[in-house]
Amino acid sequence: MAIPDPIVEGLASGWKHIDASQLSQDQTLEADVVIVGSGAGGGVAAEILTDAGLTVIIVEGGPLKSSESFNMEERRAYPNLYHQAAAMKTQDKAIGIFQGRAVGGSTTVNWTTSIRTPRPTLDFWAKDKSVKGLSRQDLDPWFDKMEKRLNISKWEYEPNRNNQALKLGCEKLGWDYTVIKRNVKGCWNTGYCGMGCPINAKQSMLVTTIPAALDKGATLVSRAKVIKLEHHNDKISAIEAQALNEQMQPTEFKLIFKAKHYIIAAGAIHTPTILLRSNLADPHQLLGKRTFLHPTLLSGAIFSDSINGHSGAPQSIYSDEFVWKHGTASGDLGYKLEVPPIHPVLIASKTIGYGKTHASLMDQFNQLQVTIALIRDGFHEQSQGGQVQLTDTGFAIDYPLNEAFWRSVRRSFGSMAELQFAAGAKQVLPITEGAPYFNSWKEAKSAMETLDLGPLKTVVVSAHVMGGCPMGENTKLSMVDSQGNSHYYENLSVMDGSVFPTSLGANPQLTIYAMTARNATLLAERLKSSS
**Strands of 148-270, DSSP E:** 152-154, 178-179, 181-183, 219-222, 224-232, 235-244, 250-264
Parallel, antiparallel, or unpaired: how do β-strands 95-97 and 88-89 relate?
Answer: antiparallel
Beta bridge partners of 493: 263, 485
Please, which residues have CB within 8 angstroms of residue 79's CB and are 6 or more apart in sequence? 85, 86
Output the tens digit of pLDDT for each of the chain's 531 residues. 678 899 999 999 999 999 999 999 999 999 999 999 999 999 999 999 999 999 999 999 999 999 999 999 999 999 999 999 999 999 999 999 999 999 999 999 999 999 999 999 999 999 999 999 999 999 999 999 999 999 999 999 999 999 999 999 999 999 999 999 999 999 999 999 999 999 999 999 999 999 999 999 999 999 999 999 999 999 999 999 999 999 999 999 999 999 999 999 999 999 999 999 999 999 999 999 999 999 999 999 999 999 999 999 999 999 999 999 988 888 889 999 999 999 999 988 888 888 888 898 899 999 999 999 999 999 998 899 999 999 999 999 999 999 999 999 999 999 999 999 999 999 999 999 999 999 999 999 999 999 999 999 999 999 999 999 999 999 999 999 999 999 999 999 999 999 999 999 999 999 999 999 999 999 999 999 887
Please, which residues have CB within 8 angstroms of residue 164's CB and are 6 or more apart in sequence? 158, 317
Q: Answer whether 82's CB lies under 8 Å from 76's CB.
A: no
What DSSP string runs through 364-396? TGGGEEEEEEEE--SSSTT---EEEEEETTEEE
pLDDT at 1: 61
Class of domain 6-530: alpha beta
Rounded to the nearest 5 percent, the helix, strand and coil shares of the chain are: 30, 25, 40
Beta bridge partners of 229: 239
pLDDT at 364: 93
**C-alpha–C-alpha distance, residues 508 and 116, integer Å:** 8
How would you label 457-468 residue by residue, b for 16+ Cβ within 10 Å and e otherwise?
Answer: ebbbbbbbbbbb
Q: Answer whether 112's CB lies under 8 Å from 315's CB.
A: yes
Helix 403-422 and helix 161-173: axis angle, to 10°? 90
Q: Answer whether 210's CB lies under 8 Å from 43's CB.
A: yes
Distances in Å between the alpha carbon of 430 and those of 132, 287, 296, 411, 449? 41, 36, 12, 12, 13
